[in-house]
Chain A
Amino acid sequence: MLVESLALSAVLFTIGVVGVLTRRNAIIIFMCVELMLNAVNLTFVALSKVYGATGQVFVVFTMTVAAAEAAVGLAIIIAIFRHQRTVNLSNINLLKG
């Protein structure tokens, strides 16, 4: 049960990493980050079954940080879109050397 949950969490986290590395759409990359946060939450919940309910307190904190991150990140994406008329990261290369 615990091992299966942790393995599922590892698989979901890896899918999120592969999504971040392959996609070029800023919003989809952002959603991949949310998927990785969800995978970490699953780890917390699975281990809280053994270590006690404190792990679930950290899930509350993770969800709060994810909500704050979504609000600020999407505002940044809207600001970039207003400036560049695109959210494709290939066209957002101001800092590229």
Chain B
Amino acid sequence: MQPNQFHSLAFSFAFYFFGLTAIASAIAFVTRKSPVAAAMWLVNVMFALAGLYVMLDAQFMATMQVLVYTGAIMVVFLFVIMLLNLGHPSEIADSRGKWGKIFALFIGLAMLAEVMALNRSNTIDRIIPADLAAKAAEAAATPLAGGVIGPIAAPLFKEYLLAFELTSVLLLAAIVGAVVLGKRRTDAR
């Protein structure tokens, strides 16, 4: 991708389109009463984030986002919502009272102010060394050696091989845990 393409109007438009879609869908997600509608808005957030990943040159991550998050995790959520038959009137009034909402809004604004203060551009420039930024710009200009996946696969299977193997143990533990927790106990007391 040419460097000047990053600043073109169409690129900016698409970036803000995906970003604003993500924010609007996230707000719709936390305000919906019905769990199924909330899950659908969350799927929309995840698709918008997948679009942003493509724009940030992380095409493999965008694929994984669609496959794993919207394709697997959210389907499991919807499956459980429908299995438990949620959404009948007693479950719908599930928000906290007025004071709880005001408290949550206050906490949210305080957190947002804190993170935004960290997020100012001069802070970003300070945490990113200039030589690293130059090297990244140079690497972005040259075509990748192993395609899109190569730069991710190399550290995953070399530097972080132990963590990768431990992840498989984590998944095995999660599978066993889910089966044990979900099993109907016939011999319990």
Which of A's residues lie within 8 Å of B, judged by CB?
A: 1-8, 10-19, 21-25, 27-28, 30-32, 34-35, 38, 41-42, 45-46, 48-54, 56-57, 59-61, 63-72, 74-79, 81-82, 86-88
Task: Judge whether A3 and B121 touch: CB under 8 Å.
Answer: yes
Residues of chain A contacted by B57 (CB below 8 angstroms):
49
Per-residue CB contact flags for chain B residues 105-149 toward chain A (1 = under 8 Å, else 0) read 101100110011001110010001000110010011000000000
Q: Measured between C-beta atoms, what is the minimum distance from B150 to chain A in Å?
A: 9
Interface of B, secondary structure class, is: helix
Task: Judge whether B86 and A71 touch: CB under 8 Å.
Answer: no
Q: Measured between C-beta atoms, what is the minimum distance from A42 to chain B in Å?
A: 6
Q: Select A7's contact among B60, B116, B151, B171, beta carbons within 8 Å.
A: B116
Task: Judge whether A41 and B49 touch: CB under 8 Å.
Answer: yes
Task: Judge whether A56 and B152 touch: CB under 8 Å.
Answer: yes
Known pairs A31-B42, A34-B73, A38-B46; A54 contacts B155 (CB<8 A):
yes
Task: Judge whether B91 and A51 touch: CB under 8 Å.
Answer: no
What would 5 more interface pairs be, CB under 8 Å, given A14-B112, A72-B181?
Answer: A5-B56, A21-B107, A31-B77, A67-B68, A76-B181
